[in-house]
Amino acid sequence: MNKIKNICFAALIGSLMVTGCNDDFVNTQPLDQVSETAVWSDAGLTEAFVSEIYAGVGNGGFDEEMLASYTDEAIFTHPGRDITTITESRSNPAAPGRTNTPIQFANLYLRIRAANLALENLQTPKFNDPTLVDRLKGEALFLRAYYHHQVVRYYGGAVIVDRVYKLGEETYMAKRNTMEECINFIVKDAEEAAKLLEGKNMVAGRASKAAALALKSRMLLYAASDLYDANTAKAKSSVMAAYAHPELLAIVGGSRTERWQKAKDAAKAVLDLPGYGYKLDLTAPESKEQGTTNYMNVALARNGGERELLFARYFINSKQENGGRQGLYNGPNGYNNWAGNTPIQHLIDDYEMMDGTKFNWSNPAQASAPYDNRDPRFYSTFLVEGSPWKVRPSNAAKALDPLNQIQTGSYEVIRGGKKEIHFGLDTRKSSIEDWNGSYTGYYMRKFTDPNPAIVDQNTWQQVPWPFFRYTEALLNYVEACIELGQDEEAKTWLNKVRFRAGMPAVTETGDALRQRYRNERRVEMVFEEQRYHDARRWMIAPTTLARKANGITIFGALKQGKEVSIYRYDPTSYNYSYSVFEIDPGKENRAWNDKMYWLPIHRDEMNRNTELVQNPGY
């Protein structure tokens, strides 16, 4: 995090110089290292040590390979990155995001150890600042809970590590704890962190009471969900039913209704916190334009949208970190960007019409203008054919696209008195770049700063990554209410989100309400690393994540009597046709196998700790 002090992690936790020699030369203190005694005797160094533990969160979801591309949200454009080892259900897949080391098994436990070191040494602090001690203990507890929760939601029941292992112990082997034990441990740490952090004035990017309660809310929601309930998981999956250790992956006893009630109460505790949430007090839908603006404010965390953030990773453009390069990673090749994670048609189609009805390709009016009159969030989430965007690079701005519109199709133009085909500047046949283009016909707009002064190709932006935001807790509350049969309460809160977005109220009940809620969560939380976990915990992955990736083919035929020499999006001059196509087979060959509900524990970890039990199917 940009506010972490620049003190080397290795220097703080290692390099303990122990010697029995009295020679002054041998006892000379190294100038590039700090002793353990010095770290825990100095308030500033202790704070720096705890600050460094945050580095394990990485860039959040802003790495080049986003978790979205493991789901029915997006596809990763560039081959050879191991991303298909999960989408194709291979036997020993790579952890999601080759560059996303914060969710890899060994890295998570490295940070858990650091949190335990802090907690152990803060039990008997060697400096006199009780307020700081409590704050640092709260942060360390939150981080220990957060990293355990990452292990649990990717790998299942974890080895709970709540102490520092020492050299010379009899054994370092340890068994995995049950899912129930893990949930209880994470919740307990989160609760204790919330108490220690209450009333503390935390700078942006650090843990807080709100962050701790949000973590508790998420974990208890998961605990009540289908995948985490042994009986339900077994009934829905033969792989889960055949597994000899169901307690490692799900809760095997107790009342599921009670778990939903705990999830509801935990979410409500977040909702009751003062000062958070953005425009959630409306009694009617915003206008279409304001709904689009509201969602952009939420995504960019500005103009009031920053009140959504409960725990986030911040970036500054003066420190050139990968997390500030979302425009480059995902932007159109017609702007010399890389088009890395591009939305697929399944996601596009799940955005409702402005009146709340489903989009339908069988409807001639909708099929002929598929980007008109959609949920206002659509326009601040995607770049589609004709979307206004930034000024093109200097070699193309006037000659090829004076209006700065996204071009993702092919079109007829008249040049030299002859009809020719112009391939869009943002396609894989672009005259600007004929590589790095989207295979789907779409680009991600969400999380990209629209400021024209930020040239995505070579400028770092300052949009934060939302690990936890207020609306997630709100949606958690809605889901728990639905599962408890409290439909009216659920609709009251769900419609707060829809009104902010400019969408009409939901009126359904029962399972129909559940399905509307799930789609609302899909749309509202898109690209925020929710879908991967939601589709799994609802156990709908076989019919959602397994779908073949798809895209759109667009062709613009000139209307009779019309002549256009420089292409522009113009329905008065063109008849546009839109055709959905499957990208697979060949590029990803997406499939689903129920073993994919959990990632495998890496073979190296299994070899290090012979007490570990592997997940089913691997």
- For the segment 322-378, what is each residue's pLDDT rounded down to a tens digit? 899 999 999 999 999 999 999 999 999 999 999 999 999 999 999 999 999 999 999
**Does position 590 have pLDDT exceeding 50, yes or no?**
yes
Which pLDDT score, from 0 to 100, does residue 32 have? 61
534 close to 476: Cβ distance less than 8 angstroms: no
Tokens of 353: 């019409």
Using the structure block, give the residue that is written with the tokens 């080391």.
Answer: 101
Pick the residue with more confidence: 22 or 422? 422
- For the segment 478-493, what is each residue's pLDDT rounded down to a tens digit? 999 999 999 999 999 9
- For the segment 561-576, what is each residue's pLDDT rounded down to a tens digit? 999 999 999 999 999 9
Which pLDDT score, from 0 to 100, does residue 98 have? 46
Q: How confident is the model at residue 259 (pLDDT cuts 50, 70, 90)?
A: very high
Number of DSSP helices (H) and strands (E) in the chain, helices first:
20, 10
CA torsion sign for 538, 543, 546, 548 is negative
**Does position 233 have pLDDT exceeding 50, yes or no?**
yes
115 close to 82: Cβ distance less than 8 angstroms: no
83-117 core/surface letters (b: 16 or more CB in 10 A; e: else): bbbbbbbeeebbbbbbebbbbbbebbbbbbbbbbb
70 residue type, one letter? Y
Least confident of 10-19, 197-206, 449-458: 10-19
**Does position 396 have pLDDT exceeding 90, yes or no?**
no
Parse the chain into domains and list their residue ranges: 41-245+596-608, 246-315+463-532, 325-458+549-582
For residue 310, with 0-12 CB atoms within 10 Å meaning exposed, 13-18 middle and 19 or more buried, which class applies? buried
Q: How confident is the model at residue 79 (pLDDT cuts 50, 70, 90)?
A: confident
**Does position 499 have pLDDT exceeding 90, yes or no?**
yes
**Does position 6 have pLDDT exceeding 50, yes or no?**
no
- For the segment 161-170, what is each residue's pLDDT rounded down to a tens digit? 999 999 999 9
Give this prediction's pTM.
0.94
494 close to 502: Cβ distance less than 8 angstroms: no
Pick the residue with more confidence: 95 or 503? 503
What DSSP designation does 236 have? H
Tokens of 610: 């012979």
Q: Distance between alpha carbon 615 and the CA centroid of its chain, in Å?
A: 24
- For the segment 314-325, what is each residue's pLDDT rounded down to a tens digit? 999 888 888 999
Strand partners, 251: 229
Report the percentage of the chain scoring pLDDT > 70.
93
Distances (CA, A) of 414 to 221, 477, 575, 590: 58, 57, 15, 41
- For the segment 27-65, what is each residue's pLDDT rounded down to a tens digit? 666 656 677 888 999 999 999 999 999 999 999 999 999
- Give dist(CA 257, CA 266) in Å, integer: 14
**Does position 21 have pLDDT exceeding 90, yes or no?**
no
91 by DSSP, 3-state: which?
coil
**Does position 16 have pLDDT exceeding 60, yes or no?**
no
Q: How confident is the model at residue 24 (pLDDT cuts 50, 70, 90)?
A: low
The mean predicted confidence, pLDDT, of the chain is: 92
CATH architecture of 41-245+596-608: Alpha Horseshoe (1.25)
Which pLDDT score, from 0 to 100, does residue 14 have? 38
